């Protein structure tokens, strides 16, 4: 894709160069200012170069982008149709990839590390002890969850104890409903007994239900149940109560007082793909049958919560479906916002349709990106549906940037030229934001979690496509809109309207002027009526900046920032790690009730953990037996493992059995051969579950692997699970034996170990890359440091406050933390660079300038992004709720950093904060500050075309190099145009080619060219407001008073003649005959010499 893109750009560039040879040279923002071919003095050249270094940020990357995008803009302006049709066709082509979609909903695959230790441990266990569901199934020794149905029962009435006859009757009814549920699959009909997991040809059953034969005696107090194990006096079944009872209350002598909860489990075979498919069909029938009975009041005394292995798959699929209906509402909301934001009082320069097309461009690009990813056979997951909401927000930000750049171009230029300048100006801004977002997503591709990888891949494609579609499709829409503006057409309805200034002259009604006027009067483009300053931009400059420049406000902001950091650090201490299964379900899901009951009643004895020992061991050796016993005791002595009473060790049991019965067994276990023979003959008979725990070699003479069981206890949250797994693995690694611990859920627990270091690593790498990118595009090292500071501060705030907002550190929040790296750069980088590149010498003025240019864009960008994800708040899903919370946090913190914190910190610690300036110097005009040296004007008629300090005072050359370059995210819809006389700083880089040539031609033909005619050179002293005339030799200058002289009087003085200065009043629309070099004005005033005449003579030829 990169090769194709760069190749197409190269072909376009060659075509642009051929067209430029026909149209003449263009202006480029390059360090070599001689390309502008304007005759300047050495002083002008130095001033221009200094101004360029501040305004353009000279760098190879910046120059290359400006040149390429200028040419691209020119081409789009000339041929907009290509860029409207081709992107649409490409999007349709890419969207055909949806037929290749490969939907993935397996929670284990998505949310567990690809190379986690749990998967390696499972491979070891399955290599030696593969589960046989058909003949030798034991629930405590499974290696995968398999296919199963599980119910948790609690009492409905106030008596929470389940040890009652009426409860047991309903338990039997529930068991019958489950076992008799009929399943229809692939032309076959079956029930639980046909697909159940079996032990010795008998279905796995819940023998706890056999207590119904003695429950009457238990309820009457005639028989006591002993905890944890009891033999049924009727059936002689061994009831292990911790497996079934939850929250059991036990007396001091281990007698059961009450049982508030009971669980039943039903396993089905899953040895082959067909069996697995049949098991999945049975699970559906199980969920339906139990759900129907629970919802229709079949049970009067019990309440039943259900769960199956497919439940999490179903919940992920439901999460996907719940967010789909909000696509349309989000698009409508964003369309309304962008349309309203892009409108203004001027009905010609309003761009409501472009606001809508910005949304269309983002949606079309996202759909095309998803289609291409599906063509590349990348799995699709439900979380990906959050990406379109983010892309709409990102796309609207780019829309604002390009519209702002368009409005800063001169309305005097042609549409292709305006497109060229717009694209050149917006290139760095949209490129740096898109590139940082793109790279932040692609950093996530290195994550060990498939869910993170898949989402970041799709989102990275979407950001890339959104960027490309905006510089092609949306740019084509802008070109069409530009032609409408050039023809002064109504922005909505397309008919021609009058400029407001013309409407006033024609005395149109007030309502007509407000609703049906716009554009500029081509005969008088600089009139203030058609060029008005935007109130919100003025508000940020004059009000917000003034408030921030107050000392006590700065102190308050720093105190608030310190409190913000304190709250973030406190939140980091409360952060929880791991994705809880409950949070994968919707809030109204049946599984939520199950997870709540499980957490309430089944956390005391939650996991049966397997300990696997492999290697070439002689189990008859007492030293080996001692090593194994030491390992078991070490594991049993950890915080979250129960006592040996709940452990299972075939070796411990076998050796104890032999010791107790050696008198009549008469066994000798000194050799390995005798040990194995006795083990097979008297202990590992088929009915004994211990027979599943020893793996013999093929010849049956050695033990290749053995298995032992330990019981986890008091695991109440994910942090306990993480600590437990970490401690058990550490003990096994420290043991001299080749030992491994395993439980099927350890595969999920691995995320608890990896999510923190992976998140930190991704954020650190992302921050460094963002700093490098900002330095490449904004070549200011101090600015890059401030950007890095902002990233660290914002990421710290997001990570800290997300824990206080009930968000765990898991694979979902990791996606958002990685994504937030790119978002945190969007606002802060531009504020830093705008402040540091400002020509203002005082920090307060720099703050005013930065907020004037970027206050409104930051507000627009933050609001649009939050509006883009607000629909996720309504999806009623933890996954999408996390996206909303974290995007809100990063956008809010980013906006607060950009609007308040960074301006204050930069004014206190940035450039110029420690310097002081004389009061007179601080009051100098912008022209004086830009050029503090005497500015020699070799073409006086060019310099004196307007009043001192006006925008035409120095003619086109001054206008070209006193301008600022837009570095923001965009401006409001009512941003004033280039011709605005109220703008404090000009944004246009240079007048068009015809204006430049007109000035050169005027100078060449001017009859007042003094070259070779006089020994005097006119010099304007910009320190004061006096005209100074000196010889080139530079002796005493002749100063002329501050009153205004006519141009002919100055010329006479320069030629050594006496001039009578009269009070001269110039019309603001003075016309100068460029061919004859004369100036026409209206002289007024009383000719009386006493009051109105001043004689000026040369003194000694000076």
Write out the DSSP string of 905-918: HHHHHSTTTT----
What is the reported pLDDT for 519?
66
pLDDT digits over 404-434, tens only? 788 878 888 899 999 999 998 787 778 888 8
**C-beta separation of 138 from 648 below 8 A:** no
Q: How confident is the model at residue 348 (pLDDT cuts 50, 70, 90)?
A: confident
How confident is residue 624, by pLDDT bands cut at 50, 70 and 90?
A: very high
SS3 helix, strand, coil % of the chain, rounded to 5? 55, 10, 30
Mind giving me the DSSP string for 648-696?
EEHHHHHHHHHHHHHHHH----SSHHHHHHHHHHHT--TTSGGGGSEEE
Cross-strand partners of 246 = 261
Look up tokens 């370059």; give the residue: 965
- Comparing CA positions, the residue from 581, 591, 659, 576 lying closest to residue 625 is 659
Q: pLDDT at position 1054, please?
A: 45
Residue 811, Cβ neighbours under 10 Å: how many?
27
Of 30-39, 869-878, 981-990, the least confident = 30-39
Give 413's contacts (C-beta < 8 A, 6+ positions apart): 421, 992
CA nearest neighbour of 455 among 848, 739, 110:
110
Among 981, 956, 947, which Cα is nearest to 1066's?
Answer: 947
> Is the pLDDT reported for residue 49 higher than 70?
no
- Give 478-534 pLDDT, tens digit per residue: 999 999 988 888 888 888 887 777 777 777 777 777 777 766 666 666 666 656 666
578 alpha carbon, distance to own chain's centre = 21
Q: Is the pLDDT of residue 991 over 50?
A: no
**Structure-block tokens of residue 1049:** 């009087």
Per-position DSSP letters for 305-349, written without gaps between them: EEEETTHHHHHHHHHHHHHTTHHHHHHHHHHHHHHHHT--S-TTT
pLDDT digits 0-9 by tens, 1-33: 444 443 444 454 454 445 444 444 333 333 333
> Who wins on pLDDT, 836 or 1050?
836
Other Cβ atoms within 10 Å of 869 Cβ, number: 22
DSSP H stretches of helix in 837-953: 843-869, 878-896, 902-909, 919-922, 926-930, 940-943
Q: State the DSSP string of 46-78.
A: HHHHHHHHHHT---HHHHHHHHHHHHHHHHHHH
Which of 697, 752, 423, 430 has its CA nearest to residue 580?
752
Mean pLDDT of 1009-1033: 40
| 176 DSSP assignment | H
Give, as one character, the DSSP assignment of residue 444.
G
Query: What percent of the chain is predicted at pLDDT more than 70?
Result: 75
Between CA 94 and CA 1094 the distance in angstroms is 80
C-alpha 884/C-alpha 887 separation (Å) is 5
> pLDDT tens across 696-735, in order?
999 888 999 999 999 999 998 888 998 999 999 999 999 9
Other Cβ atoms within 10 Å of 262 Cβ, number: 27
Domains annotated for the chain, with CATH where assigned, are: 146-308 (no CATH), 538-583+746-915 (1.20.1640.10), 618-742 (no CATH), 927-1096 (no CATH)
Residues above pLDDT 90, as percent of the chain: 37
| Tokens read off for 714 | 């008091």
Burial of 275 (0-12, 13-18, 19+ CB in 10 A): middle
For residue 211, the tally of other CB atoms under 10 A from its CB is 23
The mean pLDDT value of the chain amounts to: 78
**What pLDDT shows up at residue 260?**
94
Distance (Å, whole) CA 583 – CA 880: 11
CA 444, CA 457: separation in Å to the nearest integer? 8
* pLDDT at site 912: 65
CA 160 to chain centre: 48
Q: What is the pLDDT of residue 3?
A: 40
pLDDT of residue 1077: 40
Residue 765: CB atoms within 10 Å: 16
Sign of CA dihedral 122, 128, 134, 138: negative
- pLDDT value at position 621? 92
pLDDT at 913: 63
Considering only 6-20, 591-605, 839-853, which range has the smallest mean pLDDT? 6-20
| For residue 77, pLDDT beyond 50 | yes
Over range 685-694, report the average pLDDT.
89
pLDDT of residue 1081: 38
How far, in Å, CA of 984 to CA of 926, rounded?
A: 9
C-alpha pair distances (Å), 283 with each of 148, 195, 244, 582: 7, 11, 20, 19
Summarize the confidence of residues 99-103 as an average pLDDT: 92
Given this model, what pLDDT does residue 873 score? 85
pLDDT attached to residue 533: 65
pLDDT band for position 953 (cuts 50, 70, 90): very low
Question: How many whole angstroms from its chain centre is CA 260?
Answer: 46
Chain center to CA of 740: 40
Q: CA of 529: how far to CAs of 49, 488, 513, 807, 972, in Å?
A: 35, 16, 11, 53, 19
pLDDT at 663 over 70: yes
Please state, in angstroms and rounded to a whole number, the distance separating the CA atoms of residues 25 and 17.
Answer: 10
Check residues 877 and 124 and name the one with the higher pLDDT. 124
- Looking at residue 715, its pLDDT comes to 92
pLDDT tens-digit map of 1048-1095 = 444 454 444 444 444 434 343 333 343 334 333 333 344 444 433 334
**pLDDT at residue 860 tops 60:** yes
Can you give the pLDDT at residue 565? 95
Residue 1094: the pLDDT is 38
Contacts with 679 (C-beta within 8 Å, 6 or more apart), sequence order: 654, 694
The residue-averaged pLDDT of 291-310 equals 93
Contact 777, 431 (CB under 8 A): yes
Residues in CB range of 263: below 8 A, 6 or more apart: 150, 151, 152, 153, 244, 246, 602
- Among 269-273, 455-459, 574-578, 811-815, name the most confident range: 455-459
Q: Is the pLDDT of residue 151 over 60?
A: yes
Supply angle C-alpha 1032, 1037, 1043, rounded to 5. Answer: 125
**Predicted pLDDT at 886:** 92
Residue 594 in this model has a pLDDT that exceeds 90: yes
């Amino acid at each position: 894709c990169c090769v194709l893109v760069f190749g197409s750009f190269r072909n376009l560039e060659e075509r642009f160069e051929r067209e430029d040879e026909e149209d003449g040279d263009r202006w480029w923002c390059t360090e070599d200012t001689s390309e502008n071919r304007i005759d300047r003095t050495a002083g002008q050249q130095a001033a221009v170069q200094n101004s360029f270094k501040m305004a353009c940020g000279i760098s190879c990357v910046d120059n290359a982008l400006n040149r390429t995008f200028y040419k691209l803009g020119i081409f789009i302006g000339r041929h907009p149709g290509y860029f409207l049709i081709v992107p649409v066709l490409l999007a349709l082509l890419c969207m055909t990839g949806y037929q290749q979609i490969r939907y993935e909903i397996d929670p284990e695959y998505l949310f567990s590390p690809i190379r986690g230790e749990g998967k390696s441990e499972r491979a070891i266990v399955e290599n030696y002890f593969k589960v046989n569901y058909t003949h030798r199934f034991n629930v405590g020794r499974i290696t995968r969850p398999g296919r199963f149905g599980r119910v948790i029962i609690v009492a409905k009435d106030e008596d929470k104890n389940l040890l009652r006859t009426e409860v047991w009757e309903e338990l039997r009814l529930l068991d019958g409903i489950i076992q008799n549920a009929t399943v229809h699959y692939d032309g076959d009909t079956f029930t639980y007994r046909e697909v159940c997991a079996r032990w010795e040809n008998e279905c796995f059953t819940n023998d706890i239900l056999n207590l119904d034969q003695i429950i009457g005696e238990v309820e009457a107090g005639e028989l006591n149940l002993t905890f944890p194990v009891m033999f049924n006096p009727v059936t002689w079944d061994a009831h292990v109560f911790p497996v079934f009872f939850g929250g059991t209350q036990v007396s001091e002598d281990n007698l059961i007082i009450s049982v508030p909860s009971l669980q039943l489990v039903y396993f089905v075979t899953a040895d082959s793909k067909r069996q697995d498919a049949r098991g999945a069909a049975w699970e559906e029938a199980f969920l339906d049958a139990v759900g129907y009975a629970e919802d229709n009041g079949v049970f009067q005394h019990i309440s039943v919560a259900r769960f199956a292995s497919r439940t999490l798959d179903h919940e992920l699929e439901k999460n996907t479906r719940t967010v789909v209906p909000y696509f349309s509402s989000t698009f409508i909301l964003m369309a309304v916002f962008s349309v309203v934001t892009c409108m203004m009082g001027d009905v010609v320069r309003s761009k409501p349709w472009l606001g809508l097309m910005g949304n269309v461009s983002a949606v079309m690009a996202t759909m095309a990106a998803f289609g291409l990813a599906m063509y590349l056979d990348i799995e699709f997951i439900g979380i990906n549906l959050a990406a379109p909401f983010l892309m709409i927000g990102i796309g609207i930000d780019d829309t604002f940037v390009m519209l702002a750049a368009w409005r800063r171009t001169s309305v005097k230029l042609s549409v292709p030229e305006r497109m060229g300048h717009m694209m050149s100006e917006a290139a760095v801004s949209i490129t740096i934001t898109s590139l940082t977002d793109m790279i932040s997503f692609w950093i996530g591709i290195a994550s060990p979690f498939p869910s993170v990888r898949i989402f970041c891949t799709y989102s990275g494609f979407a950001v890339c496509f959104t960027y490309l579609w905006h510089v092609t499709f949306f740019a084509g829409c802008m070109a069409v809109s530009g032609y409408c503006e050039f023809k002064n057409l109504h922005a909505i309805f397309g008919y021609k309207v009058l400029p407001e200034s013309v409407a006033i002259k024609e005395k149109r009604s007030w309502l007509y002027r407000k609703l049906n006027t716009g554009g500029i009067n081509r005969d008088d483009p600089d009139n203030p009526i058609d060029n008005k300053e935007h109130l919100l931009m003025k508000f940020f400059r004059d009000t917000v900046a003034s408030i921030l420049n107050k000392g006590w406000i700065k102190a308050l902001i720093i105190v608030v920032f310190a409190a913000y950091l304190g709250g973030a650090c406190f939140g980091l201490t409360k952060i929880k790690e791991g994705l809880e299964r409950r949070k994968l379900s919707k809030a109204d899901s049946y599984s939520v009730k199950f997870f709540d009951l499980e957490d309430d009643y089944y956390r005391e004895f939650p996991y049966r953990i397997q300990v696997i020992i492999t290697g070439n061991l002689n189990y008859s050796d007492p030293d080996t037996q001692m090593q194994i016993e030491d390992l078991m005791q070490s594991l049993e002595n950890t915080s979250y493992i129960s006592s040996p009473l709940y452990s299972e060790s075939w070796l411990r049991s076998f050796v104890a059995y032999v010791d107790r019965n050696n008198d009549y067994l008469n066994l000798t276990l000194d050799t390995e051969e005798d040990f194995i023979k006795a083990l097979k003959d008297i202990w590992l008979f088929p009915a004994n579950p211990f027979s599943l725990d020893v793996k013999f070699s093929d010849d049956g003479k050695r033990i290749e692997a053995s298995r032992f069981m330990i019981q986890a206890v008091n695991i109440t949250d994910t942090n306990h699970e993480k600590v437990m797994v970490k401690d058990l693995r550490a003990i096994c690694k420290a043991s001299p034996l080749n030992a491994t611990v395993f439980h099927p859920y350890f595969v999920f627990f691995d995320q608890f170990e990896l999510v923190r270091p992976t998140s930190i690593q991704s954020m650190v790498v992302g921050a460094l890359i963002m700093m490098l990118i900002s330095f490449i595009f904004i070549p200011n090292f101090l600015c890059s440091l401030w950007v890095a500071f902002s990233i660290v501060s914002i990421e710290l705030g997001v990570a800290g406050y997300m824990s206080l907002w009930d968000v765990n550190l898991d694979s979902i929040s990791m996606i958002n933390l990685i994504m937030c790296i790119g978002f945190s750069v969007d606002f802060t980088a531009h504020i830093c660079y705008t402040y540091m590149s400002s020509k203002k010498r005082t920090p307060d003025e720099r703050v005013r300038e930065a907020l004037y240019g970027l206050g409104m864009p930051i507000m627009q960008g933050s609001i649009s992004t939050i509006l883009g994800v607000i629909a996720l708040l309504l999806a009623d899903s933890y996954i999408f709720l996390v996206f909303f919370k974290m995007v809100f946090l990063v956008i809010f913190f980013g906006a607060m950093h950009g609007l308040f914190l960074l301006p204050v910190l930069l004014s206190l610690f940035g450039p110029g904060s420690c310097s002081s300036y004389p009061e007179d110097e601080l009051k100098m005009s912008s022209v004086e500050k830009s050029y503090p040296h005497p500015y020699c004007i070799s073409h006086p008629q060019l310099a004196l075309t307007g009043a001192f300090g006006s925008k035409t005072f120095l003619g086109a050359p001054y206008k070209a190099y006193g301008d600022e370059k837009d570095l923001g995210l965009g401006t409001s819809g009512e941003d004033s145009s280039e011709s605005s006389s109220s703008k404090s700083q000009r944004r246009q880089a240079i007048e068009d080619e015809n204006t430049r040539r007109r000035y050169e031609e005027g100078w060449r033909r001017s009859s007042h060219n003094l070259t070779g005619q006089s020994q005097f050179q006119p010099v304007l002293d910009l320190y004061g407001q006096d005209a100074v005339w000196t010889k080139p030799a530079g002796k005493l200058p002749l100063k002329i008073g501050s009153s205004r002289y006519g141009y002919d009087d100055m010329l006479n003085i320069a030629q050594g003649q006496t001039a009578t200065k009269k009070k001269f009043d110039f019309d603001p629309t003075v016309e100068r005959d460029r061919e004859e070099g004369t100036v026409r004005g209206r002289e007024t005033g009383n000719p009386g010499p006493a009051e109105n005449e001043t004689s000026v003579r040369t003194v000694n030829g000076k």
